[in-house]
Amino acid sequence: ARLGLLYDQGSGFRQQDSITSIFAGGPEFKRIHFGIPGSQLRNLRLLRYDSSEPLRVRGVRLNMLGRHSVEISADRIHSGYPGTTVVRNSDVVEIRGISGNTNVVMALPNGFLESRTSRRLRLSVVIALCASVLALVLHAAQRHRSADSAVISDQNQRIIQNEIVIFLICAYCLASFAKLNGSATALWRIYADRQAPNAGLLFGKPKDIRSDEWVGETPWILSQVARQLAVENPGVGDGVMPLLNNLPARHWTMLFRPQMWGFFITDLEHAFAFYWNFKWFALLLGAFLFLQAIARGNSVVALFGALLLFFSPFIQWWFSTPTCMPEMIGAFFLFLWSLMLIGSAKSRWAVAGGGLLLIASTAQFVFCAYPRFQIPLVHLALFLIAGVLIANRHRIVAERDARFRVYVLTIAGVLSLLIVAAWYHDVAGAIHRVSVLTYPGKVFSTGGGLPWQRLFTPFLEFAMTDQRYPPDQMNVCEAAGFLFIAPLIAVAFGRDLLRRRFDPIIIASLAFIIIAIWFMLFGFPVGIAKWTGFYLVYSARVVLAVSIASIIALCRYLGRANDKSRSLSLGIQLAAFTALILVLLAIFKSTNGQLGGFVEWSGVFVTAIFFALVFATLWRREVAVAAILVLVPTIYANALVNPIARALPGFNGSEIFHWLSDNVRAQPDAKWLVIGRASGRTNFLPQFVKATGADTFGGYRCEPDERMIWALDPTHKYSSIYSRYAETLFLPSTQAEPSFELTFVNHYNILLPLKPEFLHRLGVTFVLEIEMPAAEGAIEGYTKIGERKGLRLLRRDAL
């Protein structure tokens, strides 16, 4: 059973105060546990999702350190929603709901407040952590004043670089050969097989919110494999649509996408592991190599910057997006590093290698095909290239083999343009069809509208989970962001300005950040938005490029040699530190108000002090201390956003998947329809069927299915509803004709009468009915051929 617990801490039931977990049911009563991260309780609400079986509850007990347990008997449990029925039988209540969902309220006799023992323990932990942080900072300050502070030599920096690169390569190969991945496909065990989603899991838990991966992209990948990696797949869209969705296919562009090579040479689970692990490998490797070059060869600074970027909430919560964001960022960094390699490498072989890398990274970046991320990154690359050229203008002119370098750069640039042009020739039709859709093709933006507090929300979101996030956000992914460190760089630039020191790379990064933030907060005029391409970009999506620019500038600053100037007096430093705390406190208080009081006041205060210490260590370029202060909580909060799992047991270990696959193999050209009453299971299972390679109506599709439109809406009455990239759900209808209803910008329902005439128009051979009564699911001319766990499979009778 998938159960959720909402707890009222005095402000009513809020989405941010909830817990959802999976529990294995059975004929016997079991004790289940919910850990509630709250200091007080007023009321409780228990929800059960997508289950046709009744839920039986005997009682509830609340436990807290230092307090006596509170019992909630069965007679205090009552319906919290008109569709939920609660029947009492002695000391047990039986709970049933509509479409498998139930909602009951558990009344507390009195408020359940935190005990004095618990408060003292919590306070002592906070004090101990603060003391540890302060001791670390004081140690760093003492070491900074020491005359013999260690400085890593250039030779040792190169050794560190080589060790990091070798470690990344070995980790990538080992993880891939072990079939490790971070997919959330274990969740299919709930929706397909009615089992707990724990098979194959090593660490962490799969998250429902990553449905664009486990419901969308991964089933499409399996569908491609089942269809022999065909360039065309009707389950994705018309024509070569798989090429715009980062799917493996027998197409020449796969030569430039090494993450796809495994699908051509090895089994599915190993290939998927090589594909998945390339995400973190490309991002970390590309970021480390480029940031090291930016940080004047400082490998420690580069590693800090790469890890800070990789473990940021935005990267982790968007990690498995079908847009291949990690690979895109990795290609972005490798492209910039290849340019620096061409311009500065000592060996002609290295220069030529830089040219090849330039071609490969350009192709990889373009083929990701998601302009909402790509356009800001392209502009950032232009700013950085200008900054690097200005910073190295004297050395570039005097560099030996200058003519050879120009030849390599020219040839690589021309070949890159030819490859992109050839790719565009193949996908132009698909791009045009998407561009005329209501969504996303006709969704444009001139920016603006983003509250300035949105830049600072990640400082207060370390306790954020997929179930607990700010109420003003649609989900945790939209709430995720990056630590906003650009103000520190701006202050450092101001000090440089006073000292008449100019770093073109920092200036270029700040210039881009200022322009991008202006777009996010205030917007561009229509003409400028179109001319720059930003009309294809949402304000909130620009945060990725802004944060990458900030980390680049930070690494440039941290990579400087220590200043020889006289340090300020202790009194001035303490005054500056106090002022910083007050400024951060004001900013975080306003931000927390924007978040609807997501963090308690004490948490806001502690956060201001903590990040004042972080900014102080960064200002003093105490890289090791700053890395410990920032990376430890960041990694702790985000490392298991995506689980660590082995293989794909959600598919290969599924009885339902093998049952459906057998029928698909028996009639590979048959068309399938998945239909049932509205539920999560009905919503998701069309994609599960697609994963077998079946030609399936419903599920995710990048454009309207013309076959479906011709059969169900020949007059295009509902064109405004289905003219979009969307997830389609088929629901049974008692009406005479099919109808369409839009439920979200990328989701619509089709209410379909189960009549042979409509199914024959669609050319449907198999109908998979989800938890439908036998009488309701009977279709003339179709015979039941099997039934498994609430799923009934019908096949069209032979003509």
Q: What is the pLDDT of residues 362-377, one digit of tens each?
A: 999 999 999 999 999 9
Alpha carbon of 289 to those of 161, 166, 286: distances in Å?
A: 8, 12, 5
In the chain, what is the straight-line distance between the N-terminal and C-terminal CA atoms, in Å?
Answer: 42
**312: nearest Cα among 329, 295, 296:** 329
- Degrees to nearest 5, angle at CA 769 with 764 and 772: 140
Q: Is the pLDDT of residue 138 over 50?
A: yes
Burial class (CB in 10 A: 0-12, 13-18, 19+), 136: middle
Measured from the Cβ of residue 484, the count of other Cβ atoms closer than 10 Å reads 20
**785: nearest Cα among 796, 777, 799:** 796
**791: nearest Cα among 327, 194, 278, 301:** 194
Across the chain, mean pLDDT equals 90
Cα pseudo-dihedral 729, 731, 737, 739, rounded to 10: -40
Portion of the chain with pLDDT greater than 70, in percent? 93
Are 311 and 635 in contact by the 8 Å Cβ rule? The answer is yes
Are 489 and 550 in contact by the 8 Å Cβ rule? The answer is yes
pLDDT, tens digit, for every residue of 420-452? 999 999 999 999 999 999 999 999 999 999 999
- Position 147 scores a pLDDT of 42
* Largest CA-CA distance found in the chain, in angstroms, rounded: 94
**447: nearest Cα among 512, 534, 515:** 534
Provide the pLDDT confidence category of residue 504 given band limits of 50, 70 and 90. very high
Domain boundaries, the chain: 2-117, 654-796
- Position 148 scores a pLDDT of 41
**478: nearest Cα among 34, 15, 20, 2:** 15
Q: Is the pLDDT of residue 293 over 70?
A: yes
- Position 762 scores a pLDDT of 96
**22: nearest Cα among 193, 275, 252:** 193
Mean pLDDT score, 512-532: 97
Are 645 and 321 in contact by the 8 Å Cβ rule? The answer is no
Q: Is the pLDDT of residue 738 over 90?
A: yes
Q: Tell me the C-alpha distance between 308 and 623, whole Å.
A: 12
* Helix, strand and coil percent figures for the chain, each rounded to 5: 55, 15, 30
- Position 55 scores a pLDDT of 83
Burial class (CB in 10 A: 0-12, 13-18, 19+), 444: middle
Q: Tell me the C-alpha distance between 250 and 237, whole Å.
A: 16
Burial class (CB in 10 A: 0-12, 13-18, 19+), 400: exposed
Provide the pLDDT confidence category of residue 149 given band limits of 50, 70 and 90. very low
Provide the pLDDT confidence category of residue 153 given band limits of 50, 70 and 90. confident
Q: What is the layout of strands, in order, in the sheet containing 2-8?
A: 18-22, 2-8, 40-49, 102-113, 77-79
DSSP classification of residue 439 = B
Q: Tell me the C-alpha distance between 793 and 769, whole Å.
A: 6
Alpha carbon of 688 to those of 85, 645, 679, 727, 753: distances in Å?
A: 32, 19, 15, 13, 23
Provide the pLDDT confidence category of residue 77 given band limits of 50, 70 and 90. confident
Count of alpha carbons within 13 angstroms of residue 628, beta-carbon side: 13
